[in-house]
Amino acid sequence: YKDTVIMVFYCQRHCYEKKYSTTVVACKPAKQEIIVNGKKKKIDCYETTFEDTVMFPEGGGQPDDRGSVDGISVLRVLRRGGEAVHYLEKPLEVGAVVTQQIDWKRRHDHMQQHSAQHLITAVADTMYGYATRSWYLGESVSYIELDTEKIPKEEVELLEEAVNQRIRDATPVHIVEYDALDPKLKEIRTRGLPEDIVGPVRVVTIENVDTNMCCGTHVHNLADLQAIKLLYTEKGKSNKTLLYFVAGARVLRYFGECITRETQLTALLHSCPSDHQRLVEKNQKDLKKCAESVDTWGRQRSWITGSTRTT
């Protein structure tokens, strides 16, 4: 066990590793807030730290990993200074050598979305000068907050083509560590480092595209992203635009959900997909006419009833 805690963990140096053996440094009872059925709930658990970890703690816009340690479920992993604090369902003995195992499907998904964000951010800046102010990695779709009032549809299409070309080119991604005081860091794009940073700083470079400080886990090559789909834009706060996207396995999942809805609409409307919009608009107009007719009939009935009572 090293006396000096570090910012860079095993998970960041070995993003594709799924298992790791390490030693328990500390373990104590604690309460931690987690999401249960969509609601926040504080539960009893065990706050545990290890000599190192294969599990990424929440940070840099990327959610934390899930998994298990010797079969015990890991509920959360949070960074505290140079430590990764794990919240487990059951306690572990201090000094014990244990095996950590991550939920690879979740980790790989986060890697794909995070690397996709770096790529979209860099290309949007290069092509149109749209700076990224923030981003959000959601459970199903993510968005990037761009410093522009709006993005024309044509630009979105060209941006999508450009980022996917980088994927088709199988562009390598490199990660290098620097000392926190290295003057080279001043030349690298960042939104700022945490005040409690300890140890080396990671710099993620997409070859010939972007260089950026980042603590997250990333793919080794853009080919691992498979594809990026830019979904739509939405007006954000302070004249910003939110650009929604999916990458990697999420593209197929999103497409599959669209096909399911299309199939259901086809059955309901008894028409081919190309007619869906026309038929829905027609149904809306028909419903509006029906509502107007009912309203007119109601007013006439009230007038007739009122006249009869007066007579």
- Is the domain of 92 the same as that of 135? no
What does the pLDDT read at residue 5?
A: 40
- Is the domain of 178 the same as that of 235? yes
Strand pairing of 19-36 and 173-178?
Answer: unpaired
- Is the domain of 93 the same as that of 162? no
User: Would the pLDDT of 15 be above 80?
Assistant: yes
Give the confidence band of 192 by pLDDT, cuts at 50, 70, 90: low
Task: Please count the CA atoms within 13 angstroms of the CA of 167 that sit on its side-chain side.
Answer: 23
Q: Say what the pTM is.
A: 0.87
- Is the domain of 79 the same as that of 150? no
What does the pLDDT read at residue 3?
A: 37
Mean of all residue pLDDT scores within the chain:
90
Q: What is the pLDDT of residues 138-189, one digit of tens each?
A: 999 999 999 999 999 999 999 999 999 999 999 999 999 988 788 887 777 6
What does the pLDDT read at residue 2?
A: 34
User: Would the pLDDT of 7 be above 80?
Assistant: no
Whether residue 2 is contained in a domain is answered as no
* Distance between start and end Cα atoms, the chain: 98
User: Would the pLDDT of 194 be above 70?
Assistant: no
User: 24 with 92: CB under 8 angstroms?
Assistant: yes
Contacts of 303-307 with CB under 8 Å at 24 or more apart are none
- Is the domain of 52 the same as that of 114? no
For 112, other C-beta atoms within 10 Å of its C-beta total 23
The DSSP secondary-structure symbol of 224 reads G
CATH code (residue 141) = 3.30.980.10
The mean pLDDT of 266-292, rounded to a whole number, is 87
Domain housing 178: 108-253
- Is the domain of 90 the same as that of 191? no
In the chain, % of residues over pLDDT 90: 68
- Is the domain of 76 the same as that of 132? no
- Is the domain of 145 the same as that of 71? no
Whether residue 302 is contained in a domain is answered as no
Q: In total, how many domains does the chain have?
A: 2
- Is the domain of 136 the same as that of 244? yes
Q: What is the pLDDT of residues 87-116, one digit of tens each?
A: 999 999 999 999 999 999 999 999 999 999
What does the pLDDT read at residue 292?
A: 80
In the chain, % of residues over pLDDT 70: 91
- Is the domain of 71 the same as that of 134? no
